[in-house]
Amino acid sequence: MENASRALIMAATVMLGVLLMGVFVYVFRAGSSVSESYDKKQQSEQLELYNSKFELYNKDENTIMELISVANLAYSVNAQTEFDPTDTVEIEITANTAKFKIPGDNRRNLQKNEILFGSTKDSIFKLATANLDDLHVETNNTNDTLATTRYDSEHNRTIYKYLFNCNKIEYHDKSGKVSKMEFTMRTNSNY
């Protein structure tokens, strides 16, 4: 009888141990699924934050100063990712027939604040300060720059003569991050 009670106690102990192990496994799995959903939510929020920095310029009526900002942002992102093709951002700016570009690769060894103008590198700030003839942008007024403005005292604001519409925004297939933006110049009808 004594052996039977010891066997029963041992069986109960084993059953209790198996039950406790089952509870621990369940709690561990529940905890890890919470962690996975938290990680997915964080990744989604980081992607939205990353894209929002570029999507801010996905509009009509960008000024040349805004385009310089988005071009520098693209260069910074490209440099941080060491020009990894899965994470780079390419910016194209078209002003009449002139094309300016921040490429997604760095075969041209661009430095910060440089942009490709055709096949040559130049300062990105030249977009705002250079005469339109120097940029090969056809216009009626050769003294204009892409940053030509006038002050509207009635509405207390500065009006740019040349604005840029965002015509296209593309995203990387795998990462979902912005991969390319294209802008085209137009003359401001309110100038």
Last residue in a domain, options 55, 79, 96: 55
The Cα–Cα gap between 43 and 18 comes to 37
User: Domain span at residue 9?
Assistant: 1-55
Do residues 89 and 114 share a domain?
A: yes
Instruction: Name the H helices within the chain.
Output: 2-55, 64-80, 126-129
What is the pTM (predicted TM-score) of this model? 0.79
Tell me if 74 sits within 8 A of 51, measured CB to CB.
Answer: no
Q: What is the pLDDT along the chain (191 residues), one digit of tens a residue?
A: 677 778 777 877 878 888 888 877 777 777 766 677 778 889 999 999 999 999 999 999 999 999 999 999 999 999 999 998 888 999 999 998 889 999 988 888 888 899 998 888 999 998 899 998 888 887 777 789 999 999 999 989 999 999 999 999 999 999 999 999 999 999 998 88
Last residue in a domain, options 31, 55, 79: 55
The helix-helix angle for 2-55 and 64-80 (nearest 10°) equals: 140
